[in-house]
Amino acid sequence: MTQKILALDKYKKNITDYLNNFLAQEEKILAKLSLDDNVFDTLKNFLLLGKMSRANLLILSYEILQSNPADLSLKEILPFASALELIQAGLLIHDDIIDQDQKRRGQNSIWQYYALQKSSYNQHYGKSQAICLADLAFFLANQLITEGCAGFNSSNELKNNRPYNQKSFDIQQLINREISQVVMAEMLDVQLAIDEKIPSLEQIMQMYLYKTARYSFSLPLMLAGHLADQSPTIIKQLSQIGEKIGLIYQIQDDYLGIFGDNKKTGKPILSDVREGKKTIFYYYLLKSNTLKSQEKQLLNDCFASQKIEVKQGLALKKLFSSHSLKPVNAQLNQLNQEALTIIDQLNNKQLEKLLKQILVFAQNRQH
């Protein structure tokens, strides 16, 4: 299992070094404003706490898909990989504001960090500064994508003596559309939490697909396919595989939110319940035919409540275990089989091995 996790860490140092150099360069170029906080240090520290799995997945899959290993250049691929991590950072910062999460990656969330900077705790200040920092991360990511396309095009025009303008357009369009869908799925997540009615399983899976699955797995895989000049058929298969693995990843995230170790996850246990999140575990719990009236009352008392007592928390875990685990595991098994079926159609043993390792990682991760 350790080897599978390490596979998504292979290029973390390369990505970290690249991001450090890029942020230092941009800090020198951008205007010197008299801010109380060094925003580049704050962003860098937050970035470097991440696993950088999306960036690693992009590089690892590109490494395999590249037809000529001699052509592999980390210098060409690192701008795109680093951009994915900046986008991830921005999305997480916004997500913590929306969910009012005070912790992220075992430390204060960015908005909480800023709120605590003032002598009198100031949530408005904290959230306002965090929104701006996340926006900065998005624009810096766009800068990296632009630079990556320019560098990639220049290098490949020399090799192939043909323009790569269409490839640049396809890459930027792919990233923009996928991240636009993340934003819309975040809006759906908020909508589902506010609505009094129970969402359908289809709505929940749709939200998971576009908020997490596609941009976390499909996007890096598809981007690698575009950069390596793969056929539309291969890119479509990579997209589908990413969706299956990503859904498994998100459902495992929900599992850890209930049954995980908060020291490993970096977030409080049952935070989804406190925030009124209508997850797949919540769906199956409410749909259970054997849920007793007092158990429903317990869920109602705790759902969207910031004050869940220890005794209530233990009882909730027992409820989810009794009523939700079996149908959720059935859903996971189905997704796993669907992923394996598509992976086996790739006709690329090295890529199949990598994707099967990542599939196992998504199913068994503990943080």
> What does 154-201 look like in DSSP terms, one character per residue?
HHHHHHHSS--HHHHHHHHHHHHHHHHHHHHHHHHHHHHHH-SSPPPH
pLDDT of residue 321: 97
> Cα–Cα distance between 115 and 127 in angstroms, integer?
7
Domain presence at residue 212: yes
Same domain as 116, residue 214: no
Q: Does 351 lie in the same domain as 228?
A: yes
Query: Is the residue at 189 inside a domain?
Result: no
pLDDT at 4: 40
Q: Strand, coil or helix: what is 108?
A: strand
Structure-token pair, residue 169: 């357009």
Same structural domain, 250 and 354: yes
pLDDT of residue 367: 78
Evaluate whether residue 175 is within a structural domain. Answer: no
Statement to judge: residues 147 and 207 lie in one domain? no
Spatial distance between the Cα atoms of 156 and 152, rounded to a whole number of angstroms: 6
Q: What is the largest CA-CA distance in the chain?
A: 72
Indicate if 298 and 155 belong to the same structural domain.
Answer: no
Q: Does residue 146 sit in the same domain as residue 44?
A: yes
- 181 phi, psi to nearest 5 deg: -70, -30
Q: What pLDDT score does 31 carry?
A: 83
- State pTM to two decimals: 0.92
Residue 192 belongs to a domain: no
DSSP 334-346: HHHHHHHHHHTTS
Same domain, 32 and 81: yes
What pLDDT is recorded for position 2?
A: 40
Q: Could you tell me if 222 and 365 lie in one domain? A: yes
Domain endpoint, select from 112, 140, 163: 163
Residue 183 belongs to a domain? no
User: Residue 164 has what pLDDT?
Assistant: 58
Alpha-carbon span 87 to 239, nearest angstrom: 19
How far is 70 from 260, CA to CA, in rounded Å?
43
Do both 93 and 234 map to the same domain? no
| Element containing residue 65 per DSSP (H, E) | helix 53-65
Residue 81 structural domain: 1-163
Closest CA to 221 of 205, 203, 237, 197: 237
Assigned token pair, 157: 């025009």
Last residue of a domain, one of 163, 189, 218: 163
Rounded Cα distance between 162 and 300, Å, is 63
Q: Domain end: 139, 163, 187, which one?
A: 163
Overall number of domains in the chain:
2
Q: What are φ and ψ of residue 104, in 5° steps?
A: -155, 130
Asked whether residue 220 falls in the same domain as residue 342, the answer is: yes
In a domain, 187, yes or no: no
Specify the amino acid at residue 191. Answer: Q
- Tell whether 77 is covered by a domain: yes
For residue 103, what is the enclosing H or E element? strand 103-104
Between CA 352 and CA 213 the distance in angstroms is 19
Residue linked to tokens 């589902």: 192
In the chain (367 residues long), the average pLDDT of successive 10-residue segments reads: 55 96 94 89 94 95 81 85 98 95 90 93 96 98 95 61 72 97 96 92 97 97 95 97 98 94 82 92 95 94 92 96 97 98 95 94 88
Query: Locate tokens 């007793």: which residue?
Result: 292
Asked if residue 140 is part of any domain, the answer here is: yes
Q: What's the rounded Cα separation, in Å, for the pair 139 and 20? A: 16
Same domain, 159 and 210: no
- The answer to whether the Cα torsion of 146, 147, 151, 152 is positive or negative is negative
- Residue 70 pLDDT: 57
Query: Do 145 and 267 sit in the same domain of this protein?
Result: no
- Predicted pLDDT at 6: 44
pLDDT, residue 65, reads: 93
- Cα-based angle 220, 361, 4 (whole degrees, multiple of 5): 95
CATH for 135: 1.10.600.10
